[in-house]
Amino acid sequence: MEIPVNVGDDGHSHGRRTLAKRAGLLALAAVWVVSGFFLWRTSVPRLDIPHLDPRDYFDAAELSRADDYRRVSRALLLGSLVVQLVVMGLLVWKARPLADALGGIGRGRVRTGILVSIAVALALWLTTLPLGAVSLWWRRRYGLSTQAAAGWLRDQAVAVGVECLLVAAAAAVTLGLAAWLSRSWWLAAAPLFVLAGVVYFVAQPLVVQPLFNTFHPLADQRLTAEIKELGAKEGVTVDKVLVADASRRTTTANAYVSGLGPTKRVVFYDTMLDGRFTPPELESVAAHELGHVARSHIWKGLGWFALLAIPGVLLVWWFTERRGGLPDPGLVPLAIAVALVYSLLVMPFGNLVSRRYEAEADWMALTATNDPESFIRLEQRLTTTSLGDPDPPDWSNLIFGTHPTPMRRIGMAVAFRTLASPAPGGS
Ligand SMILES: [Zn+2]
């Protein structure tokens, strides 16, 4: 006869559990490193990118005006970040009374927790609103924004509405799972958040972007044909090339790719098509965006999202577990604070990856157009029209730079030119 449970067995099964847990974590870490390795690789060859002098490419008066603009805009950005962190700290500190006050309306831990999450999102939004208004005034002063206060406020209201919905959904899933599965909620939450990320990426161009802009197909037939041809060169088919009415807010020019699968599209700001950019410059822009599609950067971005979100969920779990665990609504501000601080801490790494992919899209554009001169002029014009810094300090680029610096992008075009046409007299 077998005795199912005794102390010795307990000890063994506990030991086995710890071992299994460690093995599981090790396997997860191995999957992380291998996935990261494959996502990290790009097709950009090893290049000797020259260090160029911005003064050779940009007008001194232009540079100093852009400097003046950015001195204040950077301070405003930093200020808004500090305000958010301080407010977040206060909310964590006063979490218990906040949860108690909302408990009367929520009636139940999960519902109260969702209300607390919405209160946190609203508090962060309201306290940074004044700095946002100053920033609008500053952008209007420098001619970057064309938006009146009423339109800006409407945008703010829509944005915070979307944010509240997303935060509430995340809270509902997390707290619901915690109420159901207790301590092991993170095991179900991590894959669910990754899945939600995929859904958001697919749906965002159809659901979120139309809240802010209207889109119509690119009318310029010549440019459309040129884009199709570039697509063929880069091995991608482009079904949708759209124009967004960005000029109702801004004078800055931009283009982007968004969506996944059936919602995939290349979008030009209409400010890019107002005559300031020449056709070859627009082709360089399109070739860059198609490069993102050709190299599956949105899918890879989603891969990184999964790799970074899972440790984030684990951190939220660890911090809240130490204080009694979710679904306690009084721990919701702490959970959001951990997620916020974590996202700030991984931002430099996310931007490092982004810079690699942007450099790859640039390389694809140079190869497809074989027109480094237009690429350089495009880079100059994009920088001057957005009052950007052609050569920001390293620390700033390392933390905030989503793209290679303009001087580095120009440097890549110069390196491409050198590769494409070896110096005369060479053997
Ligand atoms: Zn790009």
Q: Which one is predicted more confidently, 274 or 261?
A: 274
pLDDT tens profile 67-96: 999 999 999 999 999 999 999 999 999 999
Centre of ligand 1 to C-alpha 149, Å, is 30
Centre of ligand 1 to C-alpha 58, Å, is 22
Centre of ligand 1 to C-alpha 12, Å, is 54
Centre of ligand 1 to C-alpha 94, Å, is 42
pLDDT tens profile 134-162: 999 999 999 999 999 999 999 999 999 99
pLDDT at 16: 77
Q: Which one is predicted more confidently, 111 or 11?
A: 111
Element of type H or E holding 174: helix 149-181
Residue 6 above 70 pLDDT? no
Centre of ligand 1 to C-alpha 28, Å, is 31
Cβ atoms of residues 126 and 156 within 8 Å: no
pLDDT at 96: 93
d(CA 114, CA 98): 12
d(CA 202, CA 180): 29
pLDDT at 427: 41
Residue 13 above 80 pLDDT? no
Give the tokens for residue 262: 């059936």
Residue 10 above 60 pLDDT? no
Centre of ligand 1 to C-alpha 354, Å, is 9
pLDDT at 423: 58
Cβ atoms of residues 333 and 88 within 8 Å: yes
Amino acid at 152: W
- Compute the half-sphere exposure of residue 237: CA atoms within 13 Å on the CB side of its CA: 3
Q: What is the average per-residue pLDDT within 379-390?
A: 92
Residue 11 above 80 pLDDT? no
d(CA 292, CA 365): 10
Centre of ligand 1 to C-alpha 375, Å, is 13
d(CA 328, CA 238): 49
Q: What is the mean pLDDT of the chain?
A: 90
Task: Give the pLDDT band (50/70/90) at residue 59.
Answer: very high
Distances (CA, A) of 166 to 89, 117, 276, 285: 21, 10, 38, 32
Q: Which one is predicted more confidently, 7 or 10?
A: 10
pLDDT tens profile 401-423: 999 999 999 999 999 999 877 65
Give the tokens for residue 159: 């944005």
Nearest one of 106, 78, 181 to 332, comparing CA atoms: 106
Nearest one of 152, 146, 97 to 119, comparing CA atoms: 97
| Token pair 């044909």 in the structure block, residue | 225
Q: What is the average per-residue pLDDT within 175-189?
A: 91
Q: What is the average per-residue pLDDT within 273-288?
A: 93
Task: Give the pLDDT band (50/70/90) at residue 374.
Answer: very high
Name the DSSP class of 145: B
pLDDT at 203: 85
Residue 3 above 70 pLDDT? no
Centre of ligand 1 to C-alpha 219, Å, is 22
Task: Give the pLDDT band (50/70/90) at residue 307.
Answer: very high
Residue 424 above 80 pLDDT? no
Residue 332 above 50 pLDDT? yes
d(CA 374, CA 258): 25
pLDDT at 291: 94
Q: What is the average per-residue pLDDT within 328-357?
A: 95
pLDDT at 17: 77
Centre of ligand 1 to C-alpha 273, Å, is 18
Burial class of residue 322 (count of CB atoms within 10 Å of its CB; 0-12, 13-18, 19+): exposed
Task: Count the residues in the chain.
Answer: 427
Task: Give the pLDDT band (50/70/90) at residue 112.
Answer: very high
